[in-house]
């Protein structure tokens, strides 16, 4: 079975994998991860082994370690932060007549795992015959609750299939699980080898609590478990707690035809402040709530929550079932990553793996927040409140860098800069503009003026101050922002990166607007009319380089004068280039890791003419290698706008399938949240042509010939609506709320109770742009996909 | 005494320090260091303590250690190299009637150390009264032989001053001396804590040998000592050898009026290949030679060697005795650093301390080799042969970087790149042009065509290939060299650095010329006419940016559009800026650490008009902070050429006194060889106006009003000559060799047997350029100096 059929089965509302595939566990543990943004649990088997990389995470819970530099410099961060694999409550081991259930031994007649996008659970069914010939069926279902954020639960059910059996179940809380770390630095490895220091443990009846703290970062966490057991007569239980292990042992003889069913409730909490008793009380209370709701109650809440989500956020893609599944998978994980973070970051990998040390990047605001803003706006608000809560650290960082305002970190868990390579870290100041832009988008989309007054304006004014002090008015004319790094990480420390400058310009103007709207806030932070005038002056004079000879925008000043990359002599196995070529060579050539000027064409599309967009897009297509997962979604958007619908389709598929097809060979470390979000962006901003420039919502929908229909739902202010696009026409339907001003291919209209159907003009006929040899996206042929899916 | 008179006494031919000054030992150990370029010994007291930082070095002998990176990248060097403090043979301890001589106890009625520039020795005289009241006079003299490169020797003489005394002398070879290391990386510290692994030790009679090897780099070294003792009757000696210690113990009763005199001969050798017995044989042989010559013979050879050196290399400065001393001190140390390196590097600190891990940089070719080329040309040749010997490593490095030809390391001991911060390391490709330029200078100065054929041409052609592959012909016109770092380390990874491009242009043309002269060499390395034509084409099209609005050359493209540094708000204690401001901020502003465009004005002065030089110099003066010791000498040269003679004088003094006045507060780690060499350059190329563009030797002498006369001697081809400059006139005198074509202020003349006296035109009247506030060089007022020296 293992070798007969590998991979995920195609279905619209779930992700299913049949068979064990030990070597694929690393990646399926990531795709099958459950999370609510506060607790994350990788999709490991209950029995703990075989395993890829076990992982249980609490958002914001990290350990510190020194950052080593062979040549240090002023302002280099001294402390790194790494997400900690916290006390593992997923583990439930089974002894079948004294033989431990271990799928590497015996035989699994049937084994499958299913991630259900509507139920919000991971289900497993395993029929296992032990080496001595006893067969059991194990069914498990687990959830990390969307409605009770400190709670997870597992239903574990065992049934003898061929005779009476003695079963022993051990349900664990296990701290300091040994895991591989990939660091080369002995100090980092030491910090992470056993990061949790035991502080307190108690066990009685079916309940246990373990409290630990980290040695350096000084954070404290508690994990608690309680159980409900339904079993035949003769059940014996025992419970113990040691420093790093609490264990409930359940032993019972189960006759054929009967079952042992254990429900394990888990409560998690952490704090930098609260005492061990206070944390214990917190997780005990979480458990009490969960048990009050009960397993079926938790399941029902979970489904209701998701029903509501899909009702206002679903994306339908007719004509490509695999893409349909992938886009829902993407939305489900974006929701999981962000929905209950509540003033914590949304890490680059969500809570699905230890990749990037669990750090959050600009990915959050630039890619993950747009879909959340238009589908679950409170989640976007909470993520921005996290940024706001780190403002003091960002102000300190700006001061340390000799700048005014606030400089948000390139990568961080707690808000302090953790980037150890400043040219592709601290110098990437565009993160600040992305945060400001996300604030503006959220406020425009929700009219949440309270948020704007309490949080948003402060972020805007402090980032505006940053840009003002980072740039300068040049004698030669123009306001320049020199020596910064744009989104493309194959360039660094450049002058006048077009994306950065356009985003900074918007940041400056929006800060001025917000301060004028909230004069009390402006006053509280010492912003006066002169300062606001300075922002507008800088914005008006902002340098935007243009290459008049080539008639394209250089990504940054001089970019188009740099040498071309020698693609013809770059073999396929030399991608990603950064693993095979030195930075100095990448930086000085016209080779682009990820959309940069093309991202500007999307996000700052109101600063380019259609002709410029077409020429610029073609120019950068030929030089963009997509060694980053942050690229395909954006390329899809601009390809669609310019008129390359088939190319947009290919890029959408690449973005949506990044993790399911493990395109970057690193899904083991967690999912690529920005790429998953990029699938939504590619659909809605690409084929839907959705733009929100200046706070106005506009559409220019068009679908490729391979697809029959796409439809998506979103919210804007108090209105929820659906856009359906078919060949030749689009239909806008209001789902709830007041009428809404929209635009369709440049024509304004009001969407009221009556659906509006409008014709879709054909795209301009343009030659398909070329990508570097071997770097074109896989051609997506929906007919072939459909055939493959049918015969699978 | 300690506090009454601190500092060096002024004298034309020696450096003397009276008193102990424990807190100054760190730096006086550096200034009093002896070296012949092969062996280096810091000026520690014989008794080992008190001490600053003991150090004995063998050129090229290093230990390897891992280089840590919190974020690694392709092509980053994995192994660092650090100079090893080898077996210390300087130690001679004394017991005076059972009281160890330790100058921190008892009383030193007299104590002085003298570095003698003509004798080539370090002498010490100490009258010491022990805590129990016994007084001895200790006189020592030591040398590291210029004539026998594996040999050092110490004469140690003790004399009772107030009665008969029992004296015990212990003469040691001590390996793995505990020293402080300043690294923050535990792995580096571990590698250096006890770097020497004992392999072999033997002691008999008055002779001992210790052989050690390094654990990681696999280098092996031997140190041997032998002794000659002159003493009163009743001498007892004993000798032992342990792993890390060989010790001769000498005990004798010395009556008042008599002396104990011990001559210690030291032999050193190291090899990556030879066995322990072979190395032992080598140092035994060295000792045999030294003893055959004897102490007085070694002294006589040393003096004869130096007499010859000063006869052809002396620099006289009349009117400023301190500067006179400093310039001779500088020349003496430059000689020590380079004279017997013999195919080893000349490190940035010579062999005077562990600074920069003992690495060699471009300093060697750009600053240290010009004076050696014109005074001790074989030393320049040998240093270039070292570069040549590392060509395979440089070719490997170029290949790793995706380049053709050879990429010499930014910093190294063995030729492999050790720079852990590539923007100010590997990206500083200009090191290759400096090496090529040094080859051309040496060949022009010596007509050593054999060197050119065997070594020089290969270096030139491989560096030309590097430039050709590093740059590219741009559609917009010009041959560009993008993404490199010029000399100024407050900018990095820039396009078309003017200095780099001009030097690369010269490199390309000189490689073409050399290949045409040595067609067999060219053929052997596959250089054909097409390739040579390509070099000339690149050279002819070389981009040299110019700012037409400001009418100055930008240091690199766009430099003059960058923001100015806020000097007004930079407090004095924030220099050097790199310790107080982040690189990103330094890089994006018009603040210059060290001469860069101004270095081009000197070295590539044939590419600028006089008016351009004056304007460019004034522009960069206002923006150059001289946080590097590589700057003042060059600024002196261009200041003198442009006509700012007083300013040139100030800069010359700064360069010459960098170490004696410890201007950078780091002399403890070793002397700044490039700055010492810069003192010669400032005198000869500055006030002498010496240039060697195109292989022609020209002068444009002029001295500041504060000085009465300067005179310097140098060699060119087979001619040795002197240039004397007085107010209003210069006199050229041939010392030996055939007549020579020279030029004086633009007029050619032939220097034959008759001295030639020519008038010196007055400098143009220009306003003295301003430096950044607080960064002007100290005004040198010779009259005040003379007064101070007289009254001292």
Q: What does the pLDDT read at residue B180?
A: 73
Residues of A that are catalytic:
489
Asked if the structure places residue A363 within a domain, the reply is no
The verdict on A170 and A72 lying in the same domain is yes
Q: Cα B279 to the chain's mean position, in Å?
A: 28
Q: Where are the beta strands (DSSP E) in A215-373?
A: 220-230, 236-241, 245-254, 260-271, 315-318
Q: Model confidence over A716-739: pLDDT tens digits? A: 999 999 999 999 999 999 999 999
Q: Which residues of A touch B557 (CB under 8 A)?
A: 558
CATH number, position B14: 2.70.98.40
The verdict on A344 and A392 lying in the same domain is no
Could A74 and B474 be called an inter-chain contact, meaning their C-beta atoms sit closer than 8 Å? no
Asked if the structure places residue B714 within a domain, the reply is no
Q: Model confidence over A218-251: pLDDT tens digits? A: 999 999 999 999 999 999 999 999 999 999 999 9
- Quick check: B514 and B460 in contact, CB under 8 A? yes
Asked if the structure places residue B390 within a domain, the reply is yes
Tell whether the model's pLDDT for residue B153 goes beyond 90.
yes
Q: Which residues of B touch A181 (CB under 8 A)?
A: none
- pLDDT band, very low/low/confident/very high, at A1 (cuts 50, 70, 90): very low
The verdict on B249 and B386 lying in the same domain is no
Q: How far is A63 from chain B (nearest CA, A)?
A: 16
Question: How large a percentage of chain A has pLDDT more than 90?
Answer: 93
Q: Which residues of A touch B585 (CB under 8 A)?
A: 401-403, 483
- pLDDT band, very low/low/confident/very high, at A341 (cuts 50, 70, 90): confident
- Quick check: B165 and B134 in contact, CB under 8 A? yes
The verdict on A127 and A155 lying in the same domain is yes
- Which residue among A286, A310, A334 closes a domain? A310
The verdict on B109 and B192 lying in the same domain is yes
Could A588 and B482 be called an inter-chain contact, meaning their C-beta atoms sit closer than 8 Å? yes
What DSSP state is assigned to residue B565? Answer: P
3-state secondary structure of A300: helix
Comparing CB atoms, the residue among A68, A426, A558 nearest residue B584 is A426
Quick count: other Cβ atoms within 10 Å of Cβ A296?
10
- pLDDT band, very low/low/confident/very high, at A190 (cuts 50, 70, 90): low
The verdict on A163 and A123 lying in the same domain is yes
| Inter-axis angle of helices A782-791 and A321-338, nearest 10 | 90
The verdict on B171 and B85 lying in the same domain is yes
Rounded average pLDDT over B357-383: 97
Q: Model confidence over B280-312: pLDDT tens digits? A: 999 999 999 999 999 999 999 999 999 999 999
Q: Touching check for B420 and chain A: CB below 8 Å?
A: yes
Residues of B that are catalytic:
489
Q: Model confidence over B574-588: pLDDT tens digits? A: 999 999 999 999 999
- Which residue among B303, B331, B363 closes a domain? B303
Q: Model confidence over B495-536: pLDDT tens digits? A: 999 999 999 999 999 999 999 999 999 999 999 999 999 999
- pLDDT band, very low/low/confident/very high, at A275 (cuts 50, 70, 90): very high
The more confidently predicted of residues A188 and B518 is: B518
CA distance A450 to A444: 12
| Residues whose CB falls within 8 Å of the CB of residue A182, separated by 6 or more in sequence, listed in order | none
- Quick check: B714 and B699 in contact, CB under 8 A? no
CA distance B249 to B239: 6
Could B581 and A474 be called an inter-chain contact, meaning their C-beta atoms sit closer than 8 Å? no
Q: How far is B658 from chain A (nearest CA, A)?
A: 24
Q: Where are the beta strands (DSSP E) in A49-91?
A: 56-58, 62-66, 79-83
Q: Model confidence over A25-40: pLDDT tens digits? A: 999 999 999 999 999 9
Size of interface A-B (CB pairs under 8 A): 168
Residue with tokens 């800060």: A511
Asked if the structure places residue A3 within a domain, the reply is no
For residue A75, what are its two tokens? 């302002």
Tell whether the model's pLDDT for residue B191 goes beyond 80.
no
Asked if the structure places residue B668 within a domain, the reply is no
Asked if the structure places residue A360 within a domain, the reply is no
Q: How far is B564 from chain A (nearest CA, A)?
A: 9
Q: Where are the beta strands (DSSP E) in A505-662?
A: 563-564, 589-590
Rounded average pLDDT over A768-784: 90
Q: What does the pLDDT read at residue B616?
A: 98
Asked if the structure places residue A722 within a domain, the reply is yes
For residue A34, what are its two tokens? 């459950």
- Quick check: A437 and A86 in contact, CB under 8 A? no
For residue A565, what are its two tokens? 């990359």
Q: What are phi and psi of A753, to 5 degrees?
A: -60, -35
3-state secondary structure of A700: coil
Rg (CA), chain B: 27
Gap between the terminal Cα atoms of chain A: 15
For residue A485, what are its two tokens? 């790094």
The verdict on B258 and B392 lying in the same domain is no
Average pLDDT, chain A: 95
Percent of chain B that is helix, strand, coil (3-state, to 5)? 35, 25, 40
Could B70 and A67 be called an inter-chain contact, meaning their C-beta atoms sit closer than 8 Å? yes
Rounded average pLDDT over A553-561: 98
Rounded average pLDDT over A48-70: 94
Residue among A70, A188, A591 with most chain B CBs within 10 A, to mutate: A70
Could A562 and B483 be called an inter-chain contact, meaning their C-beta atoms sit closer than 8 Å? yes
Q: What does the pLDDT read at residue B192?
A: 74
- pLDDT band, very low/low/confident/very high, at B105 (cuts 50, 70, 90): very high
Cis upstream peptide for A325 (omega within 30°):
no
Q: What does the pLDDT read at residue A606?
A: 97
Residue among B64, B68, B70, B490 with most chain A CBs within 10 A, to mutate: B70
Provide the chain B residues 499-558 that lie in CB contact (below 8 A) with chain A.
Answer: 549-550, 557-558
Q: Which residues of B touch A476 (CB under 8 A)?
A: 549, 560-561
- Quick check: B685 and B339 in contact, CB under 8 A? no
The verdict on B131 and B225 lying in the same domain is yes
Comparing CB atoms, the residue among B495, B557, B585 nearest residue A402 is B585
Q: Which residues of A touch B186 (CB under 8 A)?
A: 186-187
**B593 is known to lie in a ligand binding site:** yes
User: Biggest alpha carbon distance in chain B?
Assistant: 89
Q: Model confidence over A684-716: pLDDT tens digits? A: 999 999 999 999 999 999 999 999 999 999 999
**A363 is known to lie in a ligand binding site:** yes
Q: What does the pLDDT read at residue A184?
A: 58
- pLDDT band, very low/low/confident/very high, at B342 (cuts 50, 70, 90): confident
Q: Which residues of A touch B476 (CB under 8 A)?
A: 549, 560-561
- Which residue among B278, B303, B328 closes a domain? B303
Question: How large a percentage of chain A has pLDDT more than 70?
Answer: 97
Rounded average pLDDT over A602-616: 98
Q: How many domains does chain B have?
A: 2
Is the torsion defined by CA of B49, B53, B56, B61 positive or negative? Answer: positive
Could B584 and A475 be called an inter-chain contact, meaning their C-beta atoms sit closer than 8 Å? no
Residue among A588, A590, A593 with most chain B CBs within 10 A, to mutate: A588
Tell whether the model's pLDDT for residue A306 goes beyond 70.
yes
- Name the residue range of residue A254's domain: 8-310
Q: How far is A13 from chain B (nearest CA, A)?
A: 40
Listed residue (B134, B79, B83) closest to B109, CA to CA: B134
Rounded average pLDDT over A586-614: 98
Give, in order, the Cα–Cα distances in Å from A275 to each of A109, B190, B205: 49, 40, 72
Rounded average pLDDT over A777-788: 78
Comparing CB atoms, the residue among A68, A427, A583 nearest residue B584 is A427
Length of chain B in terms of residues written: 792
Q: What does the pLDDT read at residue A787?
A: 67
Q: Which residue of A lies nearest to B78 if distances are taken between CA atoms? A: A70
Q: Model confidence over A434-454: pLDDT tens digits? A: 999 999 999 999 999 999 999
Asked if the structure places residue A160 within a domain, the reply is yes
Q: What does the pLDDT read at residue A378?
A: 97
CA distance A629 to A651: 11
**B363 is known to lie in a ligand binding site:** yes
Could A493 and B423 be called an inter-chain contact, meaning their C-beta atoms sit closer than 8 Å? yes
The verdict on B260 and B380 lying in the same domain is no
Tell whether the model's pLDDT for residue A189 goes beyond 90.
no
Q: Touching check for B477 and chain A: CB below 8 Å?
A: no
The verdict on A478 and A580 lying in the same domain is no
Could B476 and A187 be called an inter-chain contact, meaning their C-beta atoms sit closer than 8 Å? no
Q: What does the pLDDT read at residue A4?
A: 38
Could B70 and A185 be called an inter-chain contact, meaning their C-beta atoms sit closer than 8 Å? yes
CATH number, position B468: 1.50.10.10
Tell whether the model's pLDDT for residue A431 goes beyond 60.
yes
Q: How far is A580 from chain B (nearest CA, A)?
A: 6
Tell whether the model's pLDDT for residue B3 goes beyond 60.
no
Q: What does the pLDDT read at residue A694?
A: 94
The verdict on B144 and B243 lying in the same domain is yes
Q: Model confidence over B231-259: pLDDT tens digits? A: 999 999 999 999 999 999 999 999 999 99
- pLDDT band, very low/low/confident/very high, at B1 (cuts 50, 70, 90): very low
Q: Model confidence over B54-92: pLDDT tens digits? A: 999 999 999 999 998 988 899 999 999 999 999 999 999
């Amino acid at each position: 079975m293992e070798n007969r059929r590998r991979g995920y089965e195609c279905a619209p509302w779930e992700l299913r994998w049949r068979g064990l595939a030990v070597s694929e566990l690393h990646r399926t543990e990531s795709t099958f991860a459950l999370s609510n943004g506060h607790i994350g649990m990788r999709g490991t088997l209950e029995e703990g082994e075989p395993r890829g990389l076990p992982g249980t995470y609490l958002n914001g819970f990290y350990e510190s370690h020194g950052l080593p530099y062979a040549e240090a410099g002023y302002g280099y961060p001294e402390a790194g932060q790494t997400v900690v694999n916290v006390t593992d409550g997923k583990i439930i081991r089974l002894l079948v007549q004294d033989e431990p259930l271990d799928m590497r031994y015996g035989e699994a007649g049937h084994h499958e795992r299913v991630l259900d996008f509507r139920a919000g659970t991971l289900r497993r069914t395993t029929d296992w015959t032990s080496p001595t010939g006893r067969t059991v069926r194990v069914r498990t279902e687990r959830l990390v609750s969307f409605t009770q954020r400190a709670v997870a639960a597992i239903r574990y059910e065992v049934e003898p299939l061929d005779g009476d059996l003695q079963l022993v179940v051990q349900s664990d809380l296990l701290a300091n699980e040994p895991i591989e770390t990939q660091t080369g630095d002995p100090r980092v490895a030491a910090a992470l080898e056993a990061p949790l220091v035991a502080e307190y443990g108690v066990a009685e009846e079916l309940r246990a609590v373990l409290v630990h703290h980290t040695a350096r970062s000084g954070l404290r966490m508690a994990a608690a478990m309680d159980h409900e057991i339904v079993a035949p007569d003769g059940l014996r239980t025992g419970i113990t707690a040691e420093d790093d292990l609490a264990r409930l042992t359940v032993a019972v003889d189960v006759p054929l035809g009967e079952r042992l069913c254990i429900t394990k409730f888990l409560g998690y909490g952490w704090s930098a402040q609260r005492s061990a008793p206070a944390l214990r009380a917190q997780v005990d209370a979480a458990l009490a709530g969960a048990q009050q709701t009960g397993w079926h109650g938790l399941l029902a809440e979970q489904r209701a929550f998701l029903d509501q989500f899909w009702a206002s956020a679903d994306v339908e893609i007719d004509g490509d079932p695999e893409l349909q599944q992938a886009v829902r998978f993407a939305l489900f994980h974006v929701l999981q990553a962000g929905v209950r973070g509540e003033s914590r970051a949304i890490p680059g990998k969500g809570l699905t793996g230890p990749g990037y040390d669990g750090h959050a990047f600009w990915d959050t605001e630039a890619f993950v927040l747009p879909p959340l803003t238009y589908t679950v706006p409170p989640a976007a608000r909470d993520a921005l409140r996290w940024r706001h809560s780190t403002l003091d650290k960002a102000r300190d960082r700006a001061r340390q860098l000799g700048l005014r305002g606030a400089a948000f970190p390139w990568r961080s868990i707690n808000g302090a800069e953790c980037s150890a390579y400043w040219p592709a870290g601290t110098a990437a100041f565009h993160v600040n503009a992305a945060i400001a832009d996300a604030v503006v988008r959220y406020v425009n989309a929700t009219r949440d003026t309270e948020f704007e007054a309490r949080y948003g304006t402060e972020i805007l004014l402090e980032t505006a101050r940053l840009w003002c002090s980072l740039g300068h008015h040049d004698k030669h004319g123009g306001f320049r922002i020199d020596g910064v790094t744009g989104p493309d990480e194959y360039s660094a420390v450049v002058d006048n990166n077009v994306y950065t400058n356009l985003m900074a310009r918007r940041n400056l103007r929006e800060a001025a607007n917000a301060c004028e709207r909230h004069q009390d806030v402006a006053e509280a932070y010492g912003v006066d009319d002169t300062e606001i005038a300075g922002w507008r002056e800088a914005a008006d004079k902002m340098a935007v380089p243009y290459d008049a000879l080539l008639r394209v925008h250089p990504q940054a000043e001089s970019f188009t004068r740099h040498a071309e990359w020698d693609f013809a002599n770059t073999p396929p196995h030399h991608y990603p280039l950064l693993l095979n070529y030195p930075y100095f060579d990448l930086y000085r050539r016209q080779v682009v890791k990820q959309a940069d000027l093309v991202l500007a064409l999307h996000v700052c599309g109101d600063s380019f003419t259609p002709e410029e967009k077409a020429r610029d897009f073609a120019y950068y297509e030929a030089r963009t290698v997509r060694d980053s997962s942050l690229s395909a979604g954006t390329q899809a958007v601009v390809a669609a706008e310019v008129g390359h619908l088939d190319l947009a389709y290919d890029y959408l598929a690449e973005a949506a399938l990044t993790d399911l097809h493990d395109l970057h060979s690193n899904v083991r470390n967690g999912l690529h949240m920005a790429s998953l979000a990029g699938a939504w962006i590619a659909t809605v901003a690409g084929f839907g042509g959705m733009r929100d420039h200046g706070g106005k919502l506009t559409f220019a929908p068009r679908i490729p010939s391979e697809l029959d229909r796409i439809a998506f739902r979103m919210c804007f202010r108090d209105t929820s609506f659906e856009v359906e696009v078919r060949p030749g026409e689009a239909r806008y339907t209001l789902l709830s709320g007041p009428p809404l001003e929209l635009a369709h291919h440049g024509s304004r209209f009001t969407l009221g109770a009556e659906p509006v159907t409008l014709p879709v003009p054909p795209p301009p006929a343009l030659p398909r742009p070329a990508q570097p040899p071997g770097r074109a996206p896989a051609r997506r042929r929906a007919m072939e996909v459909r055939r493959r899916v049918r015969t699978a």
